[in-house]
Amino acid sequence: MEDIEWEYLDEDSLARVTKLELNSKTVYTPSHTTTIRDDQTYSAVVGTNRRTPSINVAGEMLTKSTLDLIGKNIDTANDLAGRLIGKKSTSSRDINFIYPRIPKNYEVKNGEKKTYTSIPKIDELQISSLAHIQLQCSADAIIPPIPSAIRELDLFKDILSRTKNEMQTFKKEKQPMMGYIPNIDDRGLVIKMIEEYLKKPYECRIFGVDFSGSSNNPQLMFTVVSTLREKLKIRKNRGDNERYYLHVFNASVSKKSEKLISPVSDLLTHLYGVDSVSGVIWGGGGGNPDNARYIQISDYGAYRKDAIKGHVNCSCPVCSKYNVEQIYDHAHYLDRLKVHRMSSYREEYNRIAEKIRLGKDKAYSPYVKHKTQTLKDVERIIADVREIKARTGG
């Protein structure tokens, strides 16, 4: 079972320091998920041997052939489980979410022409198998296999009860189920999903919102957070109220843009009370170093190679060894940029948690309001948060 404590709350936003206890593991948030599975590699790469326990997302975007055969062919299910286990953290202190993701549609290539087919309705065998695979992988919270483009409430309810059945069959009914919400436009359906998740027998308190690779996603966040707070009767005063944990899947690091400098976005989700966030589980990068971005924490800007010249102020293992030209001028430039980002995020999350703890004039919101590349986005989110608080009586 899970235990969720909100230890410190930011005054202007919904950012918080949460202590999550799940299956005898403890993590503190806000945080970004780890993408390096074992402590040794982490130490070597990030340059510290004191890795704090974190959330790890072992995910895979299901291909058409995998989805077609899942629940029908035992080898397909075992192969998928094997791949997902291979992505789990090897540290027994880390919390693992196992996420076989059902995409919105499939690309069909016919010579040069590309078309898209929608995902057929997911059936009972597929649901049971995808839930079972997570149990097999010892997932710390079971994610109901909701297709990314779901439209019908009835199908959604079927998926929940099938998932719960599977958990009961394997005597795992006490394992928490995650209240998973895909990135869909139908806000009414999102509200109904949350209502269902909160009901018996599910009683979800750990929620996961899928951004599908988008940044910030204010409309969806507004709906999710205001509904959760309203239904759980969360007020400003702390104490007896119900708490929830909120994870965001597949968030983009920065806004998609052709500009040389683009605002960082994943770090801002915490203003909405997001506890942890993970990046996209599918490939990316594009292969052109000119377009790969270097994250600068001092202003929350994601810089393209041509914009970052001479700007670097970072003492991570990569930046203390190479200058910007050298980082980019290498076959493994993406790895180097990733190590830099992980190191600077690690420091930044310590800073954010410290500011939320200190509160008052040293607080988090005034700090984040000074990040010059994200001024507009922060303003928007703070305005949203004010309205959420006003609506839910906090």
Q: What is the dihedral of CA 35, 38, 41, 44, to 10 degrees?
A: 100
Tokens standing for residue 103: 């995409």
Task: Spell out the long-range contacts of 319-328 with Cβ–Cβ below 8 A and sequence spacing 24 or more.
Answer: 324/294, 327/294, 328/289, 328/292
Measured from the CB of residue 347, what is the shortest distance to Zn ion in angstroms?
10
Peptide bond into 201 cis (omega under 30): yes
- Report the distance separating Cα 90 and Cα 37, nearest Å: 6
Least spacing, CB of residue 27 vs Zn ion, in Å: 24
Q: How is residue 65 written in tokens? A: 């052939």
Place of tokens 């709906």: 223
Identify the bridge partners of residue 110 per DSSP, sorted by sequence position.
113
CB atoms within 10 A of CB 137: 21
CB of 311 to Zn ion, least distance (A): 12
Residue (99 or 349) nearer to Zn ion, CB = 349
Assess whether the previous peptide bond of 30 is cis (omega < 30° from 0): yes
Q: Is-contact 1 369, C-beta < 8 A? A: no
Residue 289 C-beta: closest distance to Zn ion, Å: 16
Q: Least Å distance between CB 45 and Zn ion?
A: 12
Cα 225 from Cα 102, distance rounded (Å): 24
Q: Which is nearer to Zn ion, 81 or 314 (CB)?
A: 314
Strand partners, 289: none
Q: At what angle do helices 375-391 and 218-231 cross, to 10 degrees?
A: 30
The conformational region for residue 155 under phi > 0 = left, psi -120 to 50 = alpha, else beta, is alpha
In the complex, the residues that contact Zn ion under the rule CB under 5 A are 314, 316, 319, 340
Tell me how far, at minimum, the Cβ of 371 lies from Zn ion, in Å.
Answer: 17
Residue nearer to Zn ion on the CB measure, 137 or 314: 314
- Cβ-based nearer residue to Zn ion, 321 or 362: 321
Nearer to Zn ion, 62 or 318 (CB): 318
Strand 293-296 and strand 301-304: pairing?
A: antiparallel
Which DSSP state fits 306?
A: H
CA distance 178 to 145: 10
* Residue whose CB is less far from Zn ion, 62 or 292: 292
Q: Measured from the CB atom, is 319 or 353 closer to Zn ion?
A: 319
Looking at beta carbons only, is 106 or 322 nearer to Zn ion? 322
Output 17 or 316, the one with its CB closest to Zn ion. 316
CA atoms 68, 152, 154, 2: torsion sign: positive
CB of 264 to Zn ion, least distance (A): 14
CB of 56 to Zn ion, least distance (A): 23
For the CB of residue 316, give the shortest distance to Zn ion in the complex, in Å: 3
- In sequence order, what are the residues at sequence separation of 6 or more whose Cβ sits closer than 8 angstroms to the Cβ of residue 308? 294, 296, 324
Report, in Å, the least distance between residue 294 CB and Zn ion: 8
Q: Cβ contacts of residue 329 below 8 Å, gap of 6+? A: 289
Nearer to Zn ion, 3 or 325 (CB): 325
Q: What are phi and psi of 294, to 5 degrees?
A: -100, 125
